């Protein structure tokens, strides 16, 4: 006998987050009859009769890790009347729903590992509200058999929890306990050391040692952050002279090392547990972050990390475990082989890591994502209005900070940070990610999007795939992609009108064959015009100009009539050869890069003039110098921002003013601050003019230079009163490039 009822389709991040038991509890509380199940499109609820306020409750009371995109209610007919309300088995294969990112340990599990129950001190405790997800996933649907927990057979106690809809571990696929789950141990000297693994590792750390720690997405190298000798040893062993180290600390230990704000606390406590950049108090050794006025700190995000921090009772350096330039190590054998020269001991376990994920990095003030990785991926982003019928697109990003983006069914999946594609192992990781995401998300593109640069490995890969599969391939100019990424993140409508993009970064090939990097673009998703740009200068030595700031300073000072100052600043540099190369255009492409202008000014002020030991070092130190000057109340200097001439903004007058102020005894920090203000005002003024003239409706800020919080804030201040679009969830750097490429390709495909 048939019975009429209602079907409720829930779309979004609704699998692997305790959604079915949540529905079960709602239904039982309301006396409803029917069932709930997972399928490729999300969660499906069928109820006999009426549903009352069920749909509203689903939206309002969803589990902590859930993200509900849509709740669709339609009629449904039961073949036979249901007697009660049940959770039934998953149906179908495919990936219309999201896969849940890894999530930091929840309060209930944290209480358990510190309590007296059977999971006391157990490093792999988790439930449906926390624990590993994407890093252990091998296939869909998200069931234990398709994760790296498959080898661990549940004991009767865990099995009872797993089958009980009223338990928070109902269908928690990584469920485990000391009886049946992964095992933790400590190694030194090539063998396992008997005893409590956490206590042994903590003892080695307290003694000034370096320990390789196996986490969620890979190995870290840990040492005592307060021990200058240990930090120096780690730097020497990793051959990492200056790049800041990330830290891990308990929340109670933070006020002693950083300035804590409500915004930073909220970012730290997020389920993604990112590294958060926070102002340093100067209480840790300078070697933790040389020349930088902020520290990157994360809270312990797995039970293993909580137990280790409790046992160590202090702050740890927690930096990626890898050889220089290579991706993070994820396998036990690989760690023993590659990290033996760095680590005095290894804190190991036997749960396999299915995919490598670096720690995400964010800034809380102003809010921005600098590296999108563990805890944030594979979360999806909604496409802006007007892209509902966008074709499936795969976009391959750029050469640096590589990330892949898939567009499907009104959502964009921006993949995890992969790194620099010149590195062989990173390229292998890129190829694997491409295949991995396609399978996990059942993605079959109709369009491929790439960067305009023909020599990028990602570009060649995309072109080859498009040719092999007969797909349309769209080459997207680098800075147009940055603009589109910012528009897309802010859900700017497809037909929302033109926007002014202030796009400042390091390098991106322009259609004129020069290297762009300091542009004002007027455009939308489908196209753009380049209205204003930084006056180009040669990049002497090509890629070497990104590493050696003196090269950028030399050409800018020469152009400003300050060659004598350049000679005095860089007496040992091969200046004559460099000037000849610039004059003849030999391996010296023209570039409007604001990133290289930052390097030039930093070198003029004595910051990393000869060589940068990591990307962005000179600019980061220059920002720190400027910020310290502002806090110290140094006299404010102002350098006149130029009006564009023929579209070009010339920095020659700026450099002459900087030199005159320096000769007049100006504080270096005040000079650095004045330079930041000059960049902000030089680009903000023409952007404002375009909006006020009615040619654009808003201003968008994008490109890696806008990771500089001081410049970001000064530019927003210079644009006060105008609608300003900024990045918050998508990196302003090349990590967000693929999203912009995908949106441009979709827009151009629709208009083709």
- The pairing of strands 361-364 and 3-13 is unpaired
How many whole angstroms separate alpha carbon 535 and alpha carbon 708?
21
How many whole angstroms separate alpha carbon 197 and alpha carbon 560?
62
CA end-to-end distance (rounded Å), the chain: 53
How many whole angstroms separate alpha carbon 243 and alpha carbon 336?
24
- The pairing of strands 699-702 and 724-725 is parallel
**Catalytic hit among 11, 33, 38, 575:** 38
How many whole angstroms separate alpha carbon 730 and alpha carbon 274?
14
Query: Taken in order 170, 171, 174, 179, is the CA torsion positive or negative?
Result: positive
> Which residues is 520 bridged to in the sheet?
502, 532
How many whole angstroms separate alpha carbon 609 and alpha carbon 612?
8
By the 10 Å C-beta count (0-12 exposed, 13-18 middle, 19+ buried), 548 is classed as: buried
Q: Do 401 and 730 touch, CB atoms closer than 8 A?
A: no
How many whole angstroms separate alpha carbon 163 and alpha carbon 20?
12
Radius of gyration of the chain (CA): 27
How many whole angstroms separate alpha carbon 98 and alpha carbon 14?
7
**Catalytic hit among 20, 144, 204, 494:** 20
Alpha carbon separation from 470 to 447, 464, 473, 593 (Å, rounded): 9, 10, 9, 36
Helix ranges (H only) for 96-196 are: 107-113, 156-163
Q: In the 8-state DSSP scheme, what is residue 121?
A: T
Which strand (E) or helix (H) includes residue 658? helix 652-663
Q: In the 8-state DSSP scheme, what is residue 387?
A: -
Q: Do 82 and 197 touch, CB atoms closer than 8 A?
A: no
Tell me the three state secondary structure of residue 522.
strand
How many whole angstroms separate alpha carbon 331 and alpha carbon 194?
22
Alpha carbon separation from 339 to 197, 426, 725 (Å, rounded): 19, 18, 43
Tell me the three state secondary structure of residue 234.
helix
> Catalytic residue at 322?
no
How many whole angstroms separate alpha carbon 628 and alpha carbon 323?
33
How many whole angstroms separate alpha carbon 647 and alpha carbon 592?
12
* CB under 8 A, 24+ apart: contacts of 294-297: 294/258, 294/624, 295/244, 295/247, 295/257, 295/258, 296/244, 296/245, 296/246, 296/247, 296/361, 297/246, 297/247, 297/248, 297/249, 297/254, 297/257, 297/258, 297/268
Token pair belonging to 65 = 């890790």
> Catalytic residue at 38?
yes
How many whole angstroms separate alpha carbon 316 and alpha carbon 305?
10
Q: Do 258 and 281 touch, CB atoms closer than 8 A?
A: yes
Give per-residue burial for 236-251: e unless 16+ CB within 10 Å, then b: eebebebbbbbbbbbe
How many whole angstroms separate alpha carbon 58 and alpha carbon 718?
43
Which single residue is written with the structure tokens 């930041």? 676
Q: Which residues are catalytic?
A: 20, 38
């Amino acid at each position: 006998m048939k019975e009429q009822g209602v079907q409720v389709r829930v779309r979004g991040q609704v699998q692997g987050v305790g959604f079915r038991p949540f529905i079960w509890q709602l239904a039982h509380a309301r006396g409803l009859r029917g069932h709930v199940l997972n399928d490729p499109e999300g969660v499906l609820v069928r109820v006999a009769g009426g549903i009352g306020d069920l749909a509203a409750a689903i939206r309002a009371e969803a589990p902590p890790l859930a993200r509900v995109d849509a709740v669709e209610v339609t009629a449904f007919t039961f073949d036979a009347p249901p007697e009660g309300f049940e959770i039934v088995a998953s149906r179908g294969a495919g990936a219309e729903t999201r896969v849940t990112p890894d999530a930091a340990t929840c309060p209930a599990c944290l209480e358990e590992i510190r309590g007296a129950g059977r999971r006391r001190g157990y490093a792999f405790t988790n439930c449906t509200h926390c624990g590993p997800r994407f890093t252990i996933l091998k296939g869909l649907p998200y069931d234990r058999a398709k994760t790296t927990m498959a080898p661990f057979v549940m004991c009767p106690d865990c099995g009872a929890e797993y089958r009980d809809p009223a338990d928070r571990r109902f269908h928690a696929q990584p469920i485990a306990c000391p009886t049946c789950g992964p095992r933790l141990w400590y190694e030194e000297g090539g063998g396992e050391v008997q005893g409590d693994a956490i206590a042994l590792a903590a003892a080695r750390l307290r003694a000034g040692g370096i320990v390789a720690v196996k986490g969620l997405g890979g190995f870290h190298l840990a040492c005592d952050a307060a021990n200058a000798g240990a930090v120096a040893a780690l730097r020497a062993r990793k051959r990492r002279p200056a790049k800041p180290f990330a830290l891990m600390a308990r929340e109670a230990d933070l006020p002693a090392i950083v300035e804590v704000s409500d915004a930073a606390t909220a970012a730290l406590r997020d389920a993604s547990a990112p590294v958060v950049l926070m102002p340093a108090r100067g209480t840790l050794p300078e070697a933790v972050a040389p020349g930088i006025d902020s520290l990157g700190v994360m809270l312990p995000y797995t039970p293993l990390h909580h137990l280790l921090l409790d046992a160590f009772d202090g702050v740890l350096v927690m930096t990626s475990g890898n050889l220089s330039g290579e991706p993070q190590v994820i396998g036990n054998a690989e760690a023993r082989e590659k990290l033996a020269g760095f680590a005095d001991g290894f804190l190991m376990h036997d749960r396999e890591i299915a995919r490598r994920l670096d720690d995400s990095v964010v800034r809380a003030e102003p809010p921005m994502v600098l590296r999108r990785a563990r805890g944030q991926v594979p979360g999806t982003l909604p496409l802006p209005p007007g892209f509902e019928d966008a074709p499936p697109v795969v976009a391959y990003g750029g050469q640096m900070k590589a990330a892949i983006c898939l567009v499907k069914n009104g959502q964009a999946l921006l993949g995890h940070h992969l790194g620099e594609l010149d590195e062989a192992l990173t390229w292998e990781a890129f190829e694997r990610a491409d295949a991995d995401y396609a399978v996990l998300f059942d993605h079959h593109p109709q369009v491929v999007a790439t960067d305009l640069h023909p020599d990028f490995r990602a570009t060649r890969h995309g072109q080859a795939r498009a040719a092999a599969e007969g797909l349309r391939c769209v080459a997207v100019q680098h800075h147009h992609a940055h603009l589109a990424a910012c528009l897309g993140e802010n859900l700017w409508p497809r037909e929302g009108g033109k926007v002014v993009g202030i796009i400042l970064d390091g390098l991106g090939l322009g259609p004129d064959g020069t290297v762009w990097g300091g542009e004002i673009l007027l455009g939308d998703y489908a196209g753009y015009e380049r209205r204003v740009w930084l006056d180009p200068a040669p990049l002497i030595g090509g890629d070497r100009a990104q590493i050696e700031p003196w090269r950028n300073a030399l050409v800018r000072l020469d152009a400003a009539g300050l060659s004598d100052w350049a000679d005095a600043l860089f007496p040992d540099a091969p200046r004559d050869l460099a000037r000849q190369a610039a004059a003849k255009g030999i391996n010296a492409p023209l570039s409007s890069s604001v990133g290289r202008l930052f390097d030039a000014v930093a070198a003029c002020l004595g910051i990393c003039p000869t060589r940068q030991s990591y990307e962005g070092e000179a600019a980061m130190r220059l920002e720190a110098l400027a910020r310290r000057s502002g806090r110290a109340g140094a006299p404010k200097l102002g350098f006149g921002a130029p009006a564009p001439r023929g579209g070009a903004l010339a920095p020659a007058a700026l450099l002459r003013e900087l030199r005159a102020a320096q000769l007049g005894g100006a504080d270096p920090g005040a000079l650095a601050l004045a330079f930041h203000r000059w960049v902000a005002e030089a680009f903000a003024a023409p952007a404002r003019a375009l909006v006020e003239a009615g040619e654009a409706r808003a201003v968008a800020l994008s490109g890696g230079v806008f990771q500089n919080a001081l410049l970001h804030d000064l530019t927003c201040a210079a644009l006060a009163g105008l609608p300003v679009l900024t990045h918050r969830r998508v990196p302003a750097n090349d990590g967000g490039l693929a999203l912009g490429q995908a949106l441009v390709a979709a827009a151009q495909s629709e208009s083709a």
